[in-house]
């Protein structure tokens, strides 16, 4: 699966509370769009987003767990130390999905509040995982799409997502035990290709054990059973 991010610029800022009363800041606007080719050349089928938004509402928004970060994270996991807002609503509106998020009293949330109070124009960027199918001159997001967050807050909504896409270009992601794990496919390929024929199986085994350790699987049993085979390869 690939990390997929999309930026939406038209976001409204709402401020509730006047005078000495504490002010609550909200952002509201189109968080997700379907059935239209976006500037990244991708199309999200309506049924795919509708199903995933329903899951996101049930598992995250309804349980006050729908967080978003400030900036462009380079992976699908929510980094709690960078959380700036909580998404409170994500509703279907025609072929779009309108979201509303409350800016939180966190270190990064306070940065957002100060930026908004100074008149800064911010945007939101959805972040998810999925596979793509190329057809009719566009990349269609398939039904395995997983929404990590409906909105991160970004300070440069008009800029391409070249940084995030560039960092993640050589990575694939797999979903295991409720967690996304990055796999640096190109590094594994290069190690195997660079190894001579005698060492190739050993390199494959090392890569396999490395992957298992990242998945937090107890590999002691695997090592004990395969130690004889590994010794033969050395």
Kindly name the residue from 72, 84, 85, 126 that is annotated as catalytic.
72
Q: What is the bridge-based pairing of β-strands 24-33 and 11-16?
A: antiparallel
Q: Is 125 a catalytic residue?
A: yes
Helical axes 197-214 vs 220-233, angle rounded to 10°: 170
Predicted pLDDT at 226: 52
HSE (side-chain half, CA atoms, 13 Å) at 220: 1
Predicted pLDDT at 161: 36
Helical axes 197-214 vs 185-194, angle rounded to 10°: 160
Predicted pLDDT at 170: 44
Three-state secondary structure along the chain? CEEEEEEECCEEEEEECCCCCCCEEEEEEEEEECCCCCCCCEECCHHHHHHHHHHHHHHCHHHCCCEEEECCCCCCCCCHHHEEEEEEEEEEECCEEEEEEEECCCHHHHHHHHHHHCCCCCEEEEEEEECEEEECCEEEECCCCEEEEEEEEECCCCCCCHHHHHHHCCEEEEEECCEEEEEEHHHHHHHHHHCCHHHHHHHHHHHHHHHHHHCCCCCHHHHHHHHHHHHHHC
Predicted pLDDT at 26: 93
Predicted pLDDT at 219: 40
pLDDT tens for the chain, 234 residues: list them.
677 887 877 788 888 876 667 789 999 999 999 999 988 889 999 999 999 999 999 999 999 999 999 988 878 889 999 999 999 999 999 999 999 999 999 999 999 999 888 888 888 989 999 999 999 899 999 999 999 999 999 876 543 333 333 333 345 555 555 555 566 555 655 665 666 655 666 665 666 556 555 544 444 444 554 554 555 555
Q: Which tokens is 201 given?
A: 């199986």
Q: Is 72 a catalytic residue?
A: yes
Predicted pLDDT at 22: 78
Are 125 and 8 in contact, with CB atoms under 8 Å apart? yes
Kindly name the residue from 34, 84, 85, 125 that is annotated as catalytic.
125
């Amino acid at each position: 699966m690939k990390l997929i991010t999309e930026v939406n610029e038209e976001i409204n800022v709402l401020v509730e509370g006047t005078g000495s009363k504490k002010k609550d800041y909200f952002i509201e606007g189109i968080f997700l769009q379907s059935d239209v080719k976006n500037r990244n050349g991708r199309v999200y089928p309506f049924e795919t987003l509708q199903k995933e938004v329903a899951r996101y509402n049930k598992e995250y928004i309804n349980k006050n767990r729908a967080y978003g970060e400030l900036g462009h994270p380079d992976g699908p996991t929510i980094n709690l130390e960078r959380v700036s807002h909580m998404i409170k609503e994500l509703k279907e509106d025609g072929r779009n999905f309108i979201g509303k998020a409350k800016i939180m009293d966190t270190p990064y949330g306070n940065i957002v509040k100060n930026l908004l109070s100074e008149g800064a124009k911010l945007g939101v960027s959805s972040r998810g995982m999925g596979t793509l199918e190329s057809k009719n001159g566009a990349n269609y997001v398939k039904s395995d799409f997983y929404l990590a967050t409906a909105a991160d807050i970004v300070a440069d909504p008009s800029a391409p997502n070249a940084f995030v896409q560039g960092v993640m270009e050589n990575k694939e992601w797999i979903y295991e035990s409720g967690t996304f794990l990055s796999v640096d496919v190109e590094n594994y390929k290069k190690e195997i290709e660079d190894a001579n024929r005698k060492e190739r199986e050993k390199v494959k085994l090392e890569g396999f054990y490395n992957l298992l350790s990242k998945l937090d699987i107890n590999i002691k049993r695997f090592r004990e059973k395969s130690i004889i085979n590994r010794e033969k390869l050395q």
